[in-house]
């Protein structure tokens, strides 16, 4: 039941929208730190339920989690305010950077600060995996599901497929649905076909952008790597609206700014059709998430009372924690390049586990440390 004020929701998610760097896994970690640990708006178990729900529907995961959290705190008004406040700052920043990109003809640079932020993000994600794992991996079955999910992710399996199979394994393991594993292949078949249809010729216009990005948003499961693959398939190879170089620049801009990395769509929309194109692409990529969450919200209480749904969600939660852990490892491979960056990871973990500082403050400290390290090296 919603018990908080919309003002609380707006302030909390605007702050996150201004400081939440690092992609979906880091955003989940930041939201856990803010709403479970600091504000105590909900329990660890309730938060995990919402993470599992967000992972199973199409759209940007962290945005969908923000919508769920806003609704839980302040009802329908909280739902919309959380989404707008979380997405809005990134959209404004990306629009400004897109204008500068076209006006100056160069990609914005913030490499020194990001070199310091990246190890801190690794610490935040790893801390979240440990904290959520305490609730999600609570018996031999969920531990086994989590381990299998991690192995599958490292092997390159699709995240949505991992989550679905984990849910079926939860059902079968609890003996809620006998022979549940036999249905795995049937459930995964349509997933493998998502987004594989040929791209029809379409004019590079705001209306075309709205349709293309709505289609991408409707099949966008899992990590940002899937987003990049879909953007390349649809916009570079299929429609030829942008070049490979522009796609890389768009992804870089999405990672440089706080909030959902899906705002890369805003940047591309600007390049293709100016300010109206940016608005159309932004609406297109995020509208499916708003719709999917709105449809799923009324089902959550009924699902919690269902033994089958509980078993399925237990499996999904175990896999979701494993995937967050895998992301931490993958990020570390890129972020930890020397002794100073490794020290930032260790210091970040120590600060988080002792509870002496919040995740947002750590990101600011990491950015400052990156700049100081660059200056010390003469870079």
Domain segments of the chain as ranges = 6-193+294-376, 206-286
pLDDT confidence band for 111 (50 / 70 / 90): low
Query: pLDDT (tens digit, 9 = 90+) per residue, 183-215?
Result: 433 333 333 333 334 456 677 889 999 999 998
Phi/psi for 221 (5° steps) reads -110, 155
Q: Are 11 and 45 in contact (CB under 8 A)?
A: no
The pLDDT value recorded for residue 283 is 96
Judged against a pLDDT cut of 70, whether residue 136 lies above it is answered with yes
- Give residue 181's pLDDT: 42
Q: What is the pLDDT of residue 29?
A: 87
Task: Provide the pLDDT for residue 267.
Answer: 93
Q: What is the pTM of this model?
A: 0.66
Q: Give alpha helix (H) positions in the chain.
A: 6-19, 24-31, 44-55, 61-104, 111-136, 140-154, 159-173, 184-193, 206-218, 224-231, 244-256, 264-296, 300-305, 307-335, 339-354, 359-376
Give the DSSP per-residue string, 261-306: GGGHHHHHHHHHHHHHHHHHHHHHHHHHHHHHHHHHGGGHHHHHH-
d(CA 251, CA 256): 9
In sequence order, the 6+-apart residues with CB closer than 8 A to the CB of 287 are 214, 217
For residues 373 and 116, is the Cβ–Cβ distance under 8 A?
Answer: yes
- The rounded percent of the chain whose pLDDT value lies above 70 is 85
pLDDT 10s digits, 270-294:
999 999 999 999 999 999 999 999 9
Distance CA 181, CA 267 (A): 42
Residue with tokens 């930041």: 30
Query: CA-CA distance, 68 to 53, in Å (whole number)?
Result: 9
């Amino acid at each position: 039941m919603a018990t908080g004020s919309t003002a609380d929701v707006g302030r909390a998610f605007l702050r996150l929208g201004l400081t939440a760097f690092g992609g979906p896994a880091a955003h989940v970690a930041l939201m856990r730190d803010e709403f479970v640990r600091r504000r105590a708006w909900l329990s660890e178990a309730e938060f995990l339920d919402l993470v599992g729900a967000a992972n199973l529907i199409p759209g940007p995961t962290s945005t969908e989690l923000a919508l769920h959290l806003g609704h839980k705190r302040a009802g329908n008004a909280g739902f919309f305010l959380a989404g707008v406040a979380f997405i809005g700052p990134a959209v404004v920043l990306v629009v400004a950077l897109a204008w500068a990109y076209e006006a100056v003809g160069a990609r914005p640079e913030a490499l020194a600060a990001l070199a310091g932020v990246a190890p801190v993000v690794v610490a935040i994600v790893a801390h979240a995996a440990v904290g959520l794992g305490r609730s999600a991996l609570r018996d031999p079955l969920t531990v086994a599901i989590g381990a299998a999910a991690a192995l599958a992710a490292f092997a390159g399996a699709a995240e949505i497929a991992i989550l679905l199979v984990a849910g079926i394994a939860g059902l079968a393991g609890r003996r809620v649905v006998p022979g549940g594993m036999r249905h795995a292949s049937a459930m995964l078949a349509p997933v493998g076909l998502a987004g594989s249809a040929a791209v029809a010729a379409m004019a590079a216009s705001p209306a075309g952008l709205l349709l293309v990005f709505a289609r991408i948003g409707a099949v966008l499961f899992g990590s940002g790597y899937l987003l990049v693959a879909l953007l390349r398939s649809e916009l570079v190879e299929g429609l030829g609206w942008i070049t490979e170089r522009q796609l890389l620049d768009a992804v870089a801009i999405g990672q440089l700014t706080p909030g959902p990395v899906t705002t890369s769509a805003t940047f591309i929309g600007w390049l293709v059709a100016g300010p109206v194109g940016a608005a159309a692409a932004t609406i297109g990529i995020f509208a499916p998430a708003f719709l999917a969450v709105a449809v799923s919200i009324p089902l959550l209480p009924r699902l919690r009372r269902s033994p089958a749904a509980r078993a399925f969600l237990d499996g999904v939660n175990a896999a979701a924690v494993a995937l967050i852990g895998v992301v931490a490892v993958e990020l570390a491979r890129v972020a930890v390049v020397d002794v100073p960056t490794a020290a930032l990871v260790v210091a970040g973990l120590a600060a988080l586990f002792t509870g002496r500082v919040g995740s947002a403050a750590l990101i600011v400290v990491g950015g400052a440390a990156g700049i100081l390290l660059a200056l010390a090296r003469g870079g």
